Amino acid sequence: MNSVIINLFYLVAALLFVVGIKGLTRPKTAVSGNRMAALGMLVAIVITLLDRQVIHYEIVFAGLALGTLMGALMAVKIQMTAMPQMVAILNGLGGGASLGVAAASYFSFMATDSELSSATLIVANCAVMLAILIGTVTFSGSAVAFGKLQEILPGQAIGFSGMKFVNLGLLLASLAVALLLITGQAGMGGFILLVALSLLLGVTLVMPIGGADMPVVIALLNSYSGIAAAAAGFIMGNNVLIISGALVGASGIILTRIMCVAMNRSLLNVLFGKMAEADGNSIDADEVYKGKVTSSSPDEVSMMLEDAQRVVIVPGFGLAMAQAQHAVRELADTLVSRGITVEFAIHPVAGRMPGHMNVLLAEAEVEYDSMKTMEQSNPNFGKTDVVIVIGANDVTNPMAREDKGSPIYGMPILNVDQAKSVVIVKRSLSPGFAGLPNPLFAMDNAVMLFGDGKQAIMDLTAALHEAA
């Protein structure tokens, strides 16, 4: 095909990617944005297949069919509770694909280096080594992130105080081996060593990061996968892959920065696998609660709601686990029908990935305008009659404001304790993903509504109807 026509279609695909990413910034336009980006990818794939001299189309179509089937099954079968794990897997697959492209190109260069100028070969090998390093780190790091999120691996940080120096050493060693490969001073043994060092680096970068900081890791790994894809685009000479990889890489690092600000974390610490550490000893839950926890019932909570003028619902991962989003929407509708103002306060890292709660509530057809950010909600908690917290443990934990010895100290939280009354819906007093007790449970204005999140909300809604 004519190169002008090819690049014109690639430009169309790139514009669709940009429009798609823009649409993903708002819940109302997220679905259409996702479709636009998917259409852009379809255009890019079709034009690439028409442009390249494909030897065996049957293999390509078999891969497309298999990938389509796997993607469709994942979209249908994966629950919202497992969405962070799926994102981790997809990030890893992106890194693995870039590694595959880079490896194939490296072996091709080895076989044809006599046909390439030294300058061309060095530039090509630089792109190959970058794709190998970042793609492999993304692959192994995403595997560890998946293991932590799926609770195959322990959720808490695993490592030691000097882990950042180990990571730095592995990075320098990887760069040294990559330099030898670029200059032709290392062969197959060097290639295998680079892959092994990169795999190990991905593991050691993510293992020291605790579960509460996993949203930051997911965003960073997403950025890595984009950078690796851009490097693969340089190797293949594919403009649209370079553009799409750069977009993913840039948007991922911006999102990582936003998450770091939201959690009061250092971006440099994220890059080297060192996250928040407690300054003091382990925190004793019995000492935090001191027997002051008050249990309540749906009937008692319904009486509190009957006299309320303003109610704020705070969703968390417990809501996702209980699949309680539809029950929560029914409760909100019931309260609104009685003239009560109802809003949803959503922390930027509620759940286990950015936007997790927004998507979950949108699935239950909760109005977008009622979903408020942390910045919008915090000034109004003092004017709120009742706050209902459903499984949002760490993002409502006052330790983040008050306890300098806490691993989450300095992380901005939803100041739900400032409301007149707080109802915490939870199965037990077990800690959240950060492994910390929550002093909110024992405050004078707080009561616990123990039970499965979905059933507890349904019982509360039924109690409201009976009292009407």
Task: Just list the catalytic residues.
Answer: 394
Residues 6+ apart with CB under 8 A from 85: 146, 149, 150
The residue written with tokens 């009407």 in the block is 468
Cα–Cα distances in angstroms (integers) from residue 342 to residues 90, 224, 371, in the given order? 36, 39, 10
SS3 for 240?
A: helix
Query: Are 293 and 442 spatial neighbours (Cβ–Cβ below 8 Å)?
Result: yes
| Amino acid sitting at position 131 | A
How far is Cα 253 from Cα 439, in angstroms, rounded to an integer?
34
* Adjacency order of strands within the sheet including 421-426: 371-373, 341-346, 310-315, 386-390, 421-426, 446-450
Q: What is the dihedral of CA 364, 367, 372, 377, to 10 degrees?
A: -100
| Cα radius of gyration (the chain) | 25
Query: Are 231 and 245 spatial neighbours (Cβ–Cβ below 8 Å)?
Result: yes
How far is Cα 389 from Cα 312, in angstroms, rounded to an integer?
8
The residue written with tokens 């006052």 in the block is 398
* Long-range pairs, 160-169, Cβ under 8 A, ≥24: 163/204, 163/208, 163/273, 163/274, 164/269, 164/272, 164/273, 164/274, 166/204, 167/201, 167/204, 167/205, 167/272, 167/273, 168/272
Cite the DSSP H helix spans in 364-416: 374-377, 399-402
How far is Cα 60 from Cα 65, in angstroms, rounded to an integer?
9
Query: Are 270 and 164 spatial neighbours (Cβ–Cβ below 8 Å)?
Result: no
How far is Cα 19 from Cα 183, in angstroms, rounded to an integer?
41
